[in-house]
Structure 1
Amino acid sequence: MNPTKVDRNHLLRLTDLPNVGPACEKDLRLIGIRVPAHLRGRDAYDMYAQLCMRTGVMHDPCVIDVFLSVLRFMQGEAPRPWWDFSKERKATLAKEAPLSLW
């Protein structure tokens, strides 16, 4: 759903969450998330790894941004577009990347 249309008091389906449409809903269901409440206590990077392992495909890293957006929303933050989280994701992944020997 478009973040500007999200109603925090109406979170029955995954598609009621900011930035979650049918494709993302399918991805979330693949990793065992059926309703918004199942997101509590989850980690976006672990969710992404689970999705990649479950499907056998490396998904676009922007999926992490969507996961970050819904997790933060569920923690009480205002709904924001997924791309607001791209800089954070890139910085986090850069810190975790193994050092090159070159």
Structure 2
Amino acid sequence: MPVVDDLKKLRNVGPATRKDFAVLKIQTVSQLAQCDPDELYSRLQSETGVAQDPCVWDVFAAAIHQARTGEALNWWVFTPVRKARQQNGTFDFR
């Protein structure tokens, strides 16, 4: 029986994010709902050896929010949260 790719139903998950999720071994929305955007962002950088654009965190946060709540917000809704954390030093993933 083939695995249904329900991740592609999420508003902010396009081909690039699906590739990131593949690297992170996330295959389902229910699996994603158990994740933390900080942990995913940090792990993606470790797995790829590449510094990721901070907007990747925004996309992860939006996708996790939708996976948990069903509410499909645009990724840029989470940008001010990240930027505030960058300002106060609680978002430092280099």
What is the DSSP-based 3-state SS (H/G/I as helix, E as strand, rest coil) of the residue aligned with 1:79?
Answer: coil
Tell me the residue number matched to 2:82: 89
Q: Moved runs in structure 1, 4+ residues, more than 4 A? A: none
Match of 1:66 in 2: 59
- Equivalent AA in structure 2 for residue 79 of structure 1: A
* Number of positions where the alignment pairs a residue of Structure 1 with one of Structure 2: 88
Q: Which residue of 1 aligns with 2:25?
A: 32
Q: Which of the numbers 23, 26, 32 marks the counterpart of 2:16?
A: 23
Secondary structure of the residue aligned to 1:38 is: helix
CA distance 1:97–1:37, change in 2 (3 Å): closer
Instruction: Give the % identical residues.
Output: 34
Please say if 1:52 is aligned against 2:45. yes
> What amino acid sits opposite 2:36 in the alignment?
D
Report the TM-score, using the length of structure 2 for normalisation.
Answer: 0.83
Question: How far apart are 1:77 and its partner, in Å?
Answer: 5.0
Letter matched to residue 81 of structure 2: E
Q: Which string of whole-angstrom CA distances, capped at 9 and with x for unpartnered residues, describes residues 21-61 of structure 1? A: 11110101101101111112211011000001100000100
- Larger Cα-atom Rg: 1
Letter in 2 for 1:15: K
For 1:72, give the aligned amino acid. H
Distance in 2 separating the partners of 1:34 and 1:61: 22
Note the residue ranges of structure 1 that are not aligned, 5 or more in a row.
1-10
